[in-house]
Amino acid sequence: MNAPTRATASQLLDNERFWRIFVWTVLLAGACVMFLPFLWLLSSSLKTELAIFRYPPDWIPDPIQFSNYVDAWTTRPFALYVRNTLVILLLNEFAVLVSASFCAYGFARIDFPGRNVWFAILLATVMLPGIVTMIPQFVIFSRIGWVNTILPLTVPFFFGGGAFNIFLLRQFFRTLPSELADAAYIDGASEIIIYWRIMLPLAKPALATIAIFTFIGTWNDFMGPLLYLAKDPNKFTVALGLAMFRTAFAGRTRWDLLMAASTMMIVPVIFVFFVAQRYFIQGIAISGLKG
Amino acid sequence: MAVQAHRTRLPWPRTRRARRALTGYLFISPFILGFFLFFVGPALVAAWLTMFDWNMIRPPYFIGLGNFTKMFNDDLFYQSLKVTAYFSLVSVPVGLVLSFLLALLMNFKTRSIALFRTIYYLPSIVPAVANAVLWSFILNTEFGLLNALLDSIGLPKIAWLQEPEWAMPAIILMSLWALGATMVIYLAGLQGIPRSLYEAAEIDGAGRWASLINVTIPLMSPVIFFNLIIGIIGSFQIFTAGFLITGGGPQHATLFYVLYIYRNGLQYFDMGYASLLAWVLFFLIFALTLIVFKYVGRYVYYEDVGS
């Protein structure tokens, strides 16, 4: 008795059109769920303090209060926080791009005894959680007087620029044809010259990927500033400033302003994502697959 | 002759092989230095500190295995392990399966794939602090989005952040919002599977289900394995959500392990004990990774082992 239903079921299963519509519907439903928190954030950021506590909540704020953004921006010196973050960011971008590409060139293009051992160590440190060294690093940095400075958040990046970034660039360097370098060898160029003049310009797409990951990492970092900059409000980064902003209003939580401030922190990240989407995809492809 | 003498004193090696070795080490020297300065050094300092009672103000006081005794009798230590294991055991498998299913659907080459991919991926790049602030409001009992949605379909409101049994599901839900990061890695993997393999499977009479089991999953197993390892390591490091949204509460229900390390180190300034906890975390993650490599790694299919 089941036979006819089974046949239709399997026919349906192999029907291309049915699948396309089914898949599209599921994806659309999922996308709506994923997008809902963003809509909620944006909507709440434009509500008055009174409208925030209206229940059931409205999706379209009435009235629309753009001044939340101004209030959030000025209640605490967010312009200063942005400046502080940008200083750290610029230093880290420079450190990571130069240092990681320099090390990656060694791993990718020079054959020397012990290279594989060091590469294994590199891969191991990609896996190792940085959290483990958090406490002893704090002890050491406070001993040498680096707490309340940006040094602990920047100096380590000058030493290799992060194992993951070295790995990513190494994978990229290995894909470049060696004929380019060979011609330069014959002309008597040294490895440093080949690295700087030939390989680095060719690695621009991979460098862009790393620059973007470094931007996201620095902009989003909370643990670092919390450990080293939390004592001095004049040194806060945006992440730290936003975390402290939660308790800026004695006794009550100003969700309207908090949502506006959060939106302002998210927007640059999303902007960079849209501008540089293809580098994101590239980075994922290199790191996730060839690894 | 003077020139000759000068030359021999130069440390620059003479053979081509030795010169290349020196150049190689010169290039990777920043990494080697950083490895010792910021990893090995601190790890050794931590190992040494585990034997001391030290609050960074008084001189360190040697207590031998005192911190170990303290740890084994510390209820909050066990609680933080339990909490972290709970989070890891639920969020990692659920996240891996959901993101894999999503990637499969997305690989269908239906319309507006790029748009879908973007929407699913965006939550994963939202800064942790902004994410925590947003979700504290979404999870708010009286005015939050989640309870408004539950209410609208006739379900009772839940005090997500006040009730010990609901705080963890809430944080897991929040962590799943970011599953797009895993999804795009799967998607990149799926797009790397040659079409010819599916065509061959079809010729052999395999339906969708059979090609999923016999072609897609085996070929994707290295990527699944990669995501599993990254997922486990990441889940053990969760901090910001517990620190900002719940403060480890209610009743220590979200006292994540790293949050407990942070408290001992940066709030109680018990550096010896915090160092011990950090080392324990290191060994736990290391052991777990080894176990996963040993028992799960053998199911991973590597196509080009020979080449």
Least Cα distance to B297 among B226, B233, B219 occurs for B226
Q: Residue A132 burial (CB < 10 Å; 0-12/13-18/19+)?
A: buried
Residues 6+ apart with CB under 8 A from A61: A43, A44, A46, A47, A48, A51
Mean pLDDT, chain B, rounded, equals 88
Quote the DSSP letter at residue B250: S
Question: Does the structural domain A76-245 have CATH classification 1.10.3720.10?
Answer: yes
**Å from A16 to nearest chain B CA?**
10
Residues of chain B above pLDDT 70, percent: 94
Q: Is A128 on the interface with B (CB under 8 A)?
A: yes
Closest CB to B185 among A139, A243, A288? A288
**Å from B4 to nearest chain A CA?**
22
Listed by start position, the domains of chain B span 15-67, 69-299
Question: Which residues of chain A does B276 touch, with a Cβ-Cβ cutoff of 8 Å?
Answer: none
Quote the DSSP letter at residue B33: H
At which residue do the structure tokens 């950090």 appear? B278
Look up residue B264 and give its two tokens: 């001992």
Counting Cα atoms < 13 Å in the Cβ hemisphere of B253 gives: 18
Least Cα distance to B167 among B100, B33, B259, B77 occurs for B259
Closest CB to B265 among A10, A113, A138? A138
* B12 three-state secondary structure: coil
At which residue do the structure tokens 């160590």 appear? A121
| Pick among B19, B27, B239 to test the A interface (most A CBs inside 10 A) | B27
Least Cα distance to A39 among B248, B138, B218 occurs for B138
> What is the C-alpha to C-alpha distance for residues B269 and B297, in angstroms, rounded to an integer?
40
A 98-117 residues with CB < 8 A to B: 99, 102-103, 105-107, 110-115
User: pLDDT digit string (tens) for A206-222?
Assistant: 899 899 999 999 999 99
User: pLDDT digit string (tens) for A39-68?
Assistant: 999 999 999 888 888 878 888 888 888 989
A233 Rama sector, left if φ>0, alpha if ψ -120 to 50, beta otherwise: alpha
Per-residue pLDDT, A142? 92
> What is the C-alpha to C-alpha distance for residues A255 and A16, in angstroms, rounded to an integer?
47
Task: Judge: A140–B27 Cβ closer than 8 Å, yes or no.
Answer: no
**Å from A241 to nearest chain B CA?**
10
Q: Would you say residue A125 has pLDDT above 90? A: no
User: What pTM did the predictor assign?
Assistant: 0.89
At which residue do the structure tokens 């620029």 appear? A161
Q: Is A158 on the interface with B (CB under 8 A)?
A: yes
Per-residue pLDDT, A88? 97
Closest CB to B226 among A56, A125, A291? A291
Domain B69-299 class, CATH top level: mainly alpha
Residues 6+ apart with CB under 8 A from B143: A52, A53, A55, A57, A255, B137
User: pLDDT digit string (tens) for B118-171?
Assistant: 899 999 999 999 999 999 999 998 889 999 999 999 899 999 999 999 999 999
| Pick among A18, A99, A131 to test the B interface (most B CBs inside 10 A) | A131
Bigger pLDDT: A130 or B9? A130
Helix H or strand E encompassing B176:
helix B164-176
Task: Judge: A134–B261 Cβ closer than 8 Å, yes or no.
Answer: yes
Closest CB to A156 among B34, B112, B262? B34
Indicate if the alpha-carbon torsion angle A264, A270, A274, A279 is positive or negative: positive
Q: How far is CA B196 from CA B105, B193, B202, in A?
A: 20, 9, 10
- Sites in chain B below the pLDDT cut of 70: 1-12, 110, 303-307
Listed by start position, the domains of chain A span 3-66, 76-245
**Å from B31 to nearest chain A CA?**
4
